[in-house]
Amino acid sequence: MDTGSAQDPLLSEQRAYYSALAPDYPDHLLGLPGGTELTEALDAFRPAGSILELACGPGTWTPRLLRHADHVTAVDASPEMLALAASRVPDGAPVRFVEADLFAWEPDRRYDVVFMGCWLSHVPAGRFRSFWSLVAAALAPRGRVFFVDDRHRNPEELVEGPASSTIQRRTPDGTAYRIVKIPYEPAELERRLRELGWDITVTPTAGPLFWGAGTRAGECR
């Protein structure tokens, strides 16, 4: 059985890192090579209907989802991040913000689309399967998935060596935190998802970014 991140020191530290980083969260991802490809791919995917946004952070993607969606439920563990996300959407926008640990949270309804921005690479390998069970539990029949992510890790972050998925990042005041960052190769990620029963195409961009779109295997897109 999966336990929440409160019992896992590394995942608690990862949560603390993002809460501390929230005021300085870098919003440059979409400016990286390949950033425009991600936004174009998401718009082409058209995340319509009811959307579940996992690990919404400061609302990097929430306003863009709202261009297509009837309603967004945006979940994140950090109250600081959620406050920023709320400030980025217009008053009265059809968004429900939920503060929750995604390793303990269970969806209270099903959604047409599950969206994740730069989250999958922070899910420990040992929780990959159970995390995708959560995604499956959150999806309506023929529901769709879209994610964007990156595989960038600076050499100085690799304090446990390049083979480890645990890296070290610092907030601007110099405080060090350990977090999970898995540098997925798109083809390998696509294969692993296929093994779990997903039909998700993972597309690399010109830079370190990639995006994935699909459904459970056997369901029409």
Ligand X SMILES: C[S@@+](CC[C@H](N)C(=O)[O-])C[C@H]1O[C@@H](n2cnc3c(N)ncnc32)[C@H](O)[C@@H]1O
Provide the binding-site residues for ligand X, judged by CB under 6 A: 5, 11, 14-15, 18, 55-57, 60-61, 76-78, 81, 101-103, 117-119, 122
> Between 123 and 139, whose beta carbon lies closer to ligand X?
123
User: Nearest Cα to 181, choosing from 125, 121, 137?
Assistant: 121
Closest separation between CB of residue 219 and ligand X, Å? 25
> Between 1 and 220, whose beta carbon lies closer to ligand X?
1
Contacts of 53 (CB under 8 A, 6+ apart): 61, 62, 65, 72, 73, 74, 75, 115, 116, 117
Closest residue to ligand X using C-beta atoms: 57
User: Nearest Cα to 116, choosing from 206, 185, 202, 34?
Assistant: 202
Closest separation between CB of residue 218 and ligand X, Å? 29
- Torsion-angle region of 192 (φ positive above 0: left; ψ -120 to 50: alpha; else: beta): alpha
> Between 83 and 219, whose beta carbon lies closer to ligand X?
83
Closest separation between CB of residue 11 and ligand X, Å? 6
Closest separation between CB of residue 153 and ligand X, Å? 13
Closest separation between CB of residue 97 and ligand X, Å? 12
> Between 61 and 132, whose beta carbon lies closer to ligand X?
61
> Between 50 and 78, whose beta carbon lies closer to ligand X?
78
